[in-house]
Amino acid sequence: MTKSELIERLSYTAGGLNKKEAELVVNTIFDSIGSALAEGDRVEIRGFGSFTIREREARQARNPKSGEVVSIPSKKTPFFKTGKELKLRVNNGNGSA
C-alpha cells in the first residue's frame, strides 16, 4: 500500500473526511512520528508496533569495485518492531481491520 492508497482508504472509511483532510491526517501522523524519533523518543502504537532509534557503530568496509578499504562512520537508524497483534494478523492471513 502506498501513501496515496492509504489516504484514499482513510477518506473512504472515515465518511466525513475528504481527500485533502485525509492527506492532512496522514501527513500529521508521519511528521509526528518522524519528529519524535529525531528527538530520540520512542513511538509505540498499541496493536501495531513501536518505532525506535538504533545506533550503528562505525566500521570498516571494502569498496567492491576498487577493493579499497573505506571507513563508515557511526549513525542512527530508525527501527520498527511489530506488535503481537500485527504479527498474529499477518501470520493468520487475516488482513481485515
Q: What is the mean pLDDT of each run of 10 residues along the chain (97 residues)?
A: 94 89 95 95 95 96 94 96 93 70
Sign of the Cα torsion 9, 12, 13, 17 reads positive
| H helix or E strand, kind and range, residue 29 | helix 19-38
- The CA distance from 26 to 4, in Å, is 10
- The CA distance from 21 to 35, in Å, is 21
pLDDT at 94: 66
pTM above 0.85, yes or no: no
Taking each helix axis as running N to C, give the angle between helix 19-38 and helix 3-13, from 0 to 180 degrees, rounded to the nearest 10: 120
pLDDT at 93: 78
